[in-house]
Structure 1
Amino acid sequence: MRQFITIALLSALPTLSFAHTASPFLLPEVFDSKSDSVSFQSSITVEKFFVPSRNFKTSYQVTNPNGKTESINAAAELKKFNIAEFNLNDDGTYRIRTKEATGNPTKYALVDGHWLRVRPPRPANAAPMQQPPANAEQKAPANQPPRFVAEDQVPANAKTVQTTNIYIAESFVTKGKPSPIPNVENKGFEFKFLTHPNELFTGESLKAQVLMNGKAVPNLEVDVFKGASSYQPNAKRDQPPVKTNAKGEVEVKFNEAGIYLITTAYPEASPDSTKQPAAQTYTYSVTVEVTE
């Protein structure tokens, strides 16, 4: 039996952790529908548990079972999330995907051989930064370079670059019997699904190939999170992460029924600050339902 969880319920999930990087998500009200329309929400989640943290500007592309794609806009744009809806005119599987969604550009400056993230200068009337206790360590480890630099402290001749993060969130809704999903375009960052995302059952797996401009992305970490209601405060949400193999293939196994967020970032953040940041980065997620 399909598990029906409403947008309102998932929006009320508890805020439990801020340990994870922000990720976009797209969440239908149902994944298996018998009605003639379906609504969904999109947002950025910090907790990775479908808790909307902040909104991001996007429109959507809906591809119907016949392969025709239409663009739709949000019916309501709120501070923390968007709500949209579309018609299910035909039986089969529909793909919902964000369109042309980008985060705020991030500026980096090359200072003393390290690429540092540029922060706005601290306002003159801002409260002074709290000093550490007298018995605390006063200095960072000698081998740990700074990660940030204030904009007014960037040397005049320093080389700078700007990174733009592209948000990609997608999900699938089926009316009646599942039908084939759209093929990848071999353009940009994509998941090529090797198993149908609307035919996932407990004890089985979602298999996909991760591609960048049509080429396999090996050894990329993919995070998995399980949704839970506010009546399950002790539910285990973090699932074991998985990695793509040499062919860019990834397998996510499901031991329990529920709604899952599968997310990753490309390229992965590098701890080596001497390497120039990429001009374009991607944060991707797909939301799926697993049934008994």
Structure 2
Amino acid sequence: MKRTALAFALAALPFAALAHKAWLQPSQTVIAGENPVVTVDAAVSNDLFYFNHVPLKLDNLAIVAPDGSEQQPSNPATGKYRSVFDVELKQTGTYRIGVTNDYATASWEENGQPKRWRGTPAAFATEVPKNAKNLQTGQSVSRVETFVTNGSPNDTALKPSGNGLELVPVTHPNDLFAKEEAKFRFQIDGKPAAGLEIEIIRGGTRYRNAQDEIKVKTDANGEFAVTWPEAGMYWLEATSQDAKVTVPGAKQRRLGYVVTLEVLPQ
């Protein structure tokens, strides 16, 4: 019950207001060899990248291989503070690893008591009373991603789906180096996301007093640039909202995107 209540509370808040951060962290993002394997931690935590809050569920995990096909994770498991799984890199090229969630949320009053619900848009029609008192509904679409390359990088797995808030790399996400500029583009439903505020934080926040956030904004083409101050794992987040809902009665669709990127030393 505590976890259910937390899940609803997270869904009900604006993305930018959340203190807890969702993330996927691969053991390494650039690797070479014959059938190498990476292990990925998945968590929602107070500190980057330490699993000290709740695990990130793997129900909607998708791994896109370099040829565009989907593959299953190996050895998935979920504990108290984190989920973990392996990805076998049988192909040469770049893999997209991500958890995508599309939830409907609802709150209403029943017999003088508040009721809350969170589930798929398909389940909304049968599980939420249509004539509920003071019914308020919404929709939340989020992506948590990372990228891993085996040998030479390619861009097949980087192609956006055209649905929701998505990152379109201009600079390859596994070709990032300290003191060098990288460029990316954000899209919403396949169109440039102009004026989007981006927050970037280097990992290891547990051991420093300041978050040292980097804040940038997308231009008219949905593009932005960042020069990495030093090597390390970085957490990047963007949020938005609009009225393009698919849940009956909902007025707002909240969009969120998070990616973990590894920046290597020069």
Distance 1:218 1:106, change over 3 A: farther
Distance 1:50 1:90, change over 3 A: same
How far is 1:289 from its partner? 0.8
Note if contact 1:56-1:103 (Cα within 8 Å) is conserved in structure 2. no
Report the counterpart of residue 88 of structure 1 in structure 2.
89
Distance 1:217 1:21, change over 3 A: farther
**How many residues matched?**
220
Distance 1:54 1:222, change over 3 A: same
How far is 1:157 from its partner? 6.2
Note if contact 1:61-1:97 (Cα within 8 Å) is conserved in structure 2. yes
Q: Does 1:70 align with 2:71?
A: yes
Q: Partners of 2:176 and 2:54 in 1: how far apart?
A: 29
Report the counterpart of residue 290 of structure 1 in structure 2.
263
Report the counterpart of residue 197 of structure 1 in structure 2.
173
Note if contact 1:24-1:283 (Cα within 8 Å) is conserved in structure 2. no
- Relative to total residues, which structure has the larger strand share, 1 or 2? 2
Distance 1:186 1:103, change over 3 A: closer
Q: Partners of 2:199 and 2:237 in 1: how far apart?
A: 5
Q: Partners of 1:71 and 1:25 in 2: how far apart?
A: 19
Q: Partners of 2:155 and 2:214 in 1: how far apart?
A: 29
How far is 1:66 from its partner? 1.8
- The TM-score normalised by the length of structure 1 is 0.66
Report the counterpart of residue 145 of structure 1 in structure 2.
none
Q: Partners of 1:208 and 1:263 in 2: how far apart?
A: 13
1:1-292 pair list within 5 angstroms: 20-34=18-32, 36-47=36-47, 49-52=48-51, 53-57=53-57, 58-72=59-73, 75-99=76-100, 101-102=101-102, 105=105, 107=107, 158=134, 160-182=135-157, 183-228=159-204, 233-234=207-208, 236-267=210-241, 278-292=251-265
How far is 1:237 from its partner? 3.5
Instruction: Provide, for residues 128-156 of structure 1, a one-character-per-residue CA deviation record: whole Å limited to 9, x for no partner.
Output: xxxxxxxxxxxxxxxxxxxxxxxxxxxx9
Higher Rg: 1
**Superposition CA RMSD, Å:** 2.9
Q: Partners of 1:92 and 1:221 in 2: how far apart?
A: 30
What secondary structure does 2:147 align onto?
Answer: strand
Q: Partners of 1:212 and 1:196 in 2: how far apart?
A: 20
State the percentage of identical aligned residues.
25
Distance 1:226 1:108, change over 3 A: farther
- The TM-score normalised by the length of structure 2 is 0.72
- Relative to total residues, which structure has the larger helix share, 1 or 2? 2
Q: Please list every run of 5 or more consecutive structure 1 residues that lacks an aligned counterpart in the other structure.
A: 1-18, 110-117, 122-155, 269-275
Distance 1:37 1:107, change over 3 A: same
How far is 1:55 from its partner? 2.3
Q: Read off the aligned partner of 2:26 and give its amino acid letter.
A: P
Note if contact 2:145-2:259 (Cα within 8 Å) is conserved in structure 1. yes
Note if contact 2:73-2:88 (Cα within 8 Å) is conserved in structure 1. no
How far is 1:226 from its partner? 0.3
Distance 1:173 1:214, change over 3 A: same
Note if contact 2:199-2:216 (Cα within 8 Å) is conserved in structure 1. yes
Distance 1:280 1:74, change over 3 A: farther
